Structure 1
Amino acid sequence: MYVQELEPVADSLTLSALVAALPLLTVLILLGGLRLKAHLAGLAGLLTAVLVACFAYSMPVGQTLSSAAQGAAFGLFPILWIVVNALWVYRMTVRTRHFDILRRSFGRLSDDPRIQALVIAFCFGALLEALAGFGAPVAICSVMLVALGFDPVRAAVVALVANTAPVAFGAMGTPVVTLAQVTGLPLDSVASVVGRQTPLLALVVPLVLVGLVDGRRGLRETWVPALACGVAFAAAQFAAANYFSAQLADIAASLAGAAALLAVPHTRVPASDAVRARVLTGARSEELDEQDPRPEIVRAYAPYALIVAIFSVAQIPAVKDWLARATRTYDWPFLNVVDPDGAPVGGNVFTWPVASTGGTLVLLAGLATAAVLGVHARVALREWAATVHELRHAILTVTSVLALAYVMNLSGQVATIGHLVAAAGAGLAFLSPVLGWFGVAVSGSDTSANALFGALQVTAARESGLSPELLAAANSSGGVLGKMISPQNLTIACAAVGLAGREGDLLRKVLPWSVGLLLVMCLIVVAQSSPVLGWMLP
């Protein structure tokens, strides 16, 4: 049996916390300072965590390695199982050219470029974030905007800022699933609180996008459809996260936002030549004028309808219980850890949700998509293998970061840091979103930031008397605002629109929005930790 210690270094909480922070500092310095690739930084951080656990915390080598193995296993299933299958569905739509049909369909919804920015960057970007994530929304939406005639810099900035509100529930809820696992909090509880924070961002982001596209004049002329889009998106995300399914939160929100835009009469009013001259500086792609048969348009929307249908059926109580029967629970080998009070920790047991996990449901939707789009079984299998190959570095990054997180959690390193951070007291509520923001800004992933800092937030919350669910959720909600300034996303945006080497220009344009919206989120969390907005929490 291994008993966690809070002060293993010279019986000092401060010195122990400094040593315990070495794995996190290693990752952050290698990523943010030395610009090392994420998977290499993750492996270096994992090695550091293992060394700290063995030599500073005296955790047996076998238990340390077993902790890392469990973290890697969780990274593969269910986290990467969701991501791979979701991206596979997207790749099949690209291969059959139904994604191009979908893109043309969006381009014809309105000829007002300000409305087009909302439909493509905000609504469709959220749908892509729900299904793929990992930079796909920024790359795809910025290219689509350039095809409509947007200036490349403006297209990239709009796509980056739009990729905020949906991130916490991206890739079929992967960030909140990870957050729940590493903190030991129920998924429904964590998703519920996140669903009471990020929808508040969704109210603001469409107005910000319209301002980015056409300044104050555009905001005066199109604030009604922008606000309608934001309200519908926020309401659907809140409802899905709290009462239905966290995995469907972004899909429901993106569809609701697009429906609200189409319902506003302003959307169908042709844009004036003056508006188009102000906003559009490039040539519009002639491909957008191609007419598509109605049956093909229906098939282009089918994959997303199938995902919604399958996840909806899976929420029916009888079906949910039936799927849960396949879940397997194991005593994890070579692991026997208790906390300083002698209570067993959750890591001693590993739960494998074979059928009920989102990745398996997306796999079923993918099989149905292949049938609807006419993708041969051999081709579908080849696309799945190609998806795994495309994500090979992301797979290594996620597994190494989660292995690092498990070693830090089970050895007691996180508990040590959490007890020290708890000294911030009430100020911790303000700082918790900043920690998530910093983690995503460096790593480019809300999932990674939740794995790194989720357990730390919970430990600090319990020591300071704040709500663990609130601070855990704040880590993810603050993190979404760091994604627009992460080197990974900036590089993806520049490469997509032909601005290679101009990441600094984009950073200067989006940084004020990132910091400004972060401040708003910090104030929201502070208010939710007090009677002012405390009534919002479940």
Structure 2
Amino acid sequence: MYVWVQVYNPLNNIWFSAIIAAIPIILFIVMLTVFKLKGYIAGLFSIIVAGIVAVFIYKMPAIFVLMSAVFGVLAGIWPVASIVFAAIFLYKITVKTGKFTIIENSISFITADQRLQVLIVSFSFGAFLEGAAGFGAPVAITAAILVGLGFSPIYAASLCLIANIAGGAYGAMGIPVTVPALLTGLDAHVVARYTAYVIPILSIVVAFLLIFIIDGMKGIRQTFPAALVSGISFGLTQAIVLTFLGAELADIFAAIVSLLALSVFLQVWKPKEIFRVSNENHGDKQLKYSLGEIAYAWLPFVFLTIFVTLFNLSFFKNLFITGGPLEKLVLLLPIPGLNNLVIKHVPIVPKDTPYAAVFKLDLFSSTTTAIVITIIFASILFRCSGKQLMAITKETAKELFSPVLTICSVLAFAYICTYSGMSSTLGLAFASTGAVFPLFSPVLGWLGVFLTGSVVNSGSLFAPLQAVTAAQIGIAPESMVAVNVMGGTMAKMISPQSIAVAAAAVGLAGKESELFKVTIKYSLCLLVIIGIISWLIF
């Protein structure tokens, strides 16, 4: 079988090559923001343009381009789209059985002020789900909850995407830090400590930013003590855990402490004015339900937390890895016409390395499975009939058809960029900046997450390059790998994959451009801040 070696500088000028490599990305952004096309249409055009650039500029064989796109579509279906489908299905069970009304009232029991409800749901609970599961589930679940609480879909989705900054760097038991560290042979705990210089402070800022987005400076003035309690308890706990324990439990502990701290504080302090996003008077609905009824309504999310945490623990994952006792339950499907036929080379990797392309179908060990098990428990607990479940299935499938197309098209375009070497071209261009590299280092992580939708994948793509460049200019490699994580986290709110997930969760299919326009300004501003901090302290 023919083997193709990646080309990183096809025009013999790294910046000219980078401009060409950026065309599919720029096109995608323009089609979303200027022409306001639906996500899957913008994705389709980007696939075509990326394919043309890959074949005619990078000289990648057309069959490799095609199979890269196929691999991206498969990755879009499993695990990304499957997680979103399962998460929305679980949410709909609570709605159809009337339990969500009780959940809504239990949140109102803590506070009727919806500025503070956002801190509880999207900031603290969202970070908890991020730490336990990641991969889109936190945004999908919390955005759906906010819509149920009365927030408009665009408001709910954008707030949850922005709130995800606080926990995005340490999702799914810290793998955005541990995986890049493993790839570069660095100490994951040291990388985590470097992120502790910045992310906990940003977490505090995010708590106030969410309030500001909802109700401006008036909202910050009225809720300042509560936002301070929420933000500081979260950020301080995060910093302590990152410094002494590592990244794996940073989100879990920070979320629990902030949720408890804010809940207790709100029993002794209340804002002078109760803010609601609508004029509906909820009054004291929470008095209609007993503590037992509230606990019963929350059980699906309790089970969800337990199962996704269990499924992401090392001892459970090790059962299914190669050599583990249950390895045969994981299907590893090499992509024909692509797997190990693309060769990466220096300076992206130390020596020529075949690029694997293996689709992993882990039906018994994925986050999707954890949510499906929760759905089974919830169906039994709430005595859902077969007719109800079938109706929910049809309704969810209909709502998610367009978002799934968007997710698959975006990942197809991203995989073409990755396997063709276009992503590496962009990375090498920024790495060529020499002494000012720390200023541009977070841009690599940002680009990686924009392309792949995952801080983990961004680390896999650019962490080796970050580490090598850092060593060449005389700074700690761990610092730039940490900056890659931090820069990538700032892109989660604008990644086409994340946008599609959030839009799907709140019924905004086809309106991804509206959501993108809300989040892009915050993402770029925070990216600049990360770059300046990186340049000054590293």
> What TM-score, normalized to structure 2?
0.75
Range 379-388 or range 92-101, more displaced = 379-388
Distance 1:407 1:182 in 2: 21
Distance 1:291 1:525 in 2: 52
Q: Which residues of 2 match residues 83-162 of structure 1 at below 5 A?
A: 83-110=84-111, 115-116=116-117, 118-120=119-121, 122-123=123-124, 132=137, 137=142, 140-141=145-146, 144=149, 160=158
- Distance of aligned partners of 1:31 and 1:249 in 2 relative to their CA distance in 1, 3 Å threshold: farther
Contact 2:438/2:531 (8 A) holds in 1:
yes
Unaligned ranges ≥5, structure 2: 322-326, 471-476
Is 2:263 the counterpart of 1:262? yes
1:5 is paired with a residue whose SS is coil
Over the matched positions of the two proteins, sequence identity in percent amounts to 25
Q: Which residue of 2 aligns with 1:8?
A: 10
1:267 is paired with a residue whose SS is coil
Distance 1:77 1:488 in 2: 15
2:490 is paired with a residue whose SS is helix
Is 2:417 the counterpart of 1:408? yes
Contact 1:200/1:234 (8 A) holds in 2:
yes
- Distance of aligned partners of 1:62 and 1:310 in 2 relative to their CA distance in 1, 3 Å threshold: same
1:6 is paired with a residue whose SS is coil
Distance 1:423 1:93 in 2: 52
CA deviations 1:410-441 (Å, max 9, x no partner) are 1222222322222233444334546777899x
Contact 1:125/1:163 (8 A) holds in 2:
no
CA deviations 1:216-270 (Å, max 9, x no partner) are 7875775443333223434666759996996x87676544422111222x53345
Distance 2:220 2:231 in 1: 14
Q: Which residues of 2 match residues 438-477 of structure 1 at below 5 A?
A: 448=453, 457-458=462-463, 461=466, 464-465=469-470, 469-477=481-489
Q: Which residue of 1 aligns with 2:324?
A: none
Q: Which residue of 2 aligns with 1:394?
A: 403
Is 2:311 the counterpart of 1:302? no
CA deviations 1:197-216 (Å, max 9, x no partner) are 54432222334455667777
Q: Which residues of 2 match residues 253-402 of structure 1 at below 5 A?
A: 253-264=254-265, 267-269=267-269, 272=272, 275-276=273-274, 282-285=279-282, 288=285, 291-314=288-311, 318-324=315-321, 325=327, 326-335=329-338, 336-340=341-345, 343-402=352-411
Distance 1:33 1:427 in 2: 32
**Matched AA of 1:329:** L
- Distance of aligned partners of 1:308 and 1:90 in 2 relative to their CA distance in 1, 3 Å threshold: same
Contact 2:414/2:451 (8 A) holds in 1:
no
- Cα displacement (A) at 1:105: 0.9
Q: Which residues of 2 match residues 508-523 of structure 1 at below 5 A?
A: 517-523=526-532
- Cα displacement (A) at 1:175: 13
Contact 1:92/1:383 (8 A) holds in 2:
yes
Distance 1:492 1:314 in 2: 24
1:338 is paired with a residue whose SS is strand
Range 68-77 or range 229-238, more displaced = 229-238
**Matched AA of 2:486:** A
- Distance of aligned partners of 1:362 and 1:33 in 2 relative to their CA distance in 1, 3 Å threshold: same
1:24 is paired with a residue whose SS is helix
> What TM-score, normalized to structure 1?
0.75
- Cα displacement (A) at 1:124: 5.1
**Matched AA of 1:28:** I
**Matched AA of 1:308:** T
- Cα displacement (A) at 1:44: 0.8
Number of residues paired by the alignment? Answer: 503
**Matched AA of 2:63:** G
Distance 1:222 1:307 in 2: 31
1:345 is paired with a residue whose SS is strand
Distance 2:83 2:298 in 1: 20
**Matched AA of 1:267:** Q
- Distance of aligned partners of 1:257 and 1:97 in 2 relative to their CA distance in 1, 3 Å threshold: farther
Range 383-392 or range 309-318, more displaced = 309-318
- Cα displacement (A) at 1:165: 3.6
- Distance of aligned partners of 1:204 and 1:362 in 2 relative to their CA distance in 1, 3 Å threshold: same
Q: Which residue of 2 aligns with 1:19?
A: 20
Range 219-228 or range 232-241, more displaced = 232-241
- Cα displacement (A) at 1:135: 6.7
CA deviations 1:78-133 (Å, max 9, x no partner) are 22222221222112111112111111111122356664453355445657886745
Distance 1:391 1:178 in 2: 27
Range 61-70 or range 11-20, more displaced = 11-20
- Cα displacement (A) at 1:480: 4.5
Contact 1:398/1:448 (8 A) holds in 2:
no
Distance 1:371 1:527 in 2: 56
**Matched AA of 1:339:** K
- Cα displacement (A) at 1:74: 1.6
2:332 is paired with a residue whose SS is strand
- Distance of aligned partners of 1:429 and 1:223 in 2 relative to their CA distance in 1, 3 Å threshold: same
1:21 is paired with a residue whose SS is helix
Distance 2:503 2:318 in 1: 44
- Cα displacement (A) at 1:12: 3.8
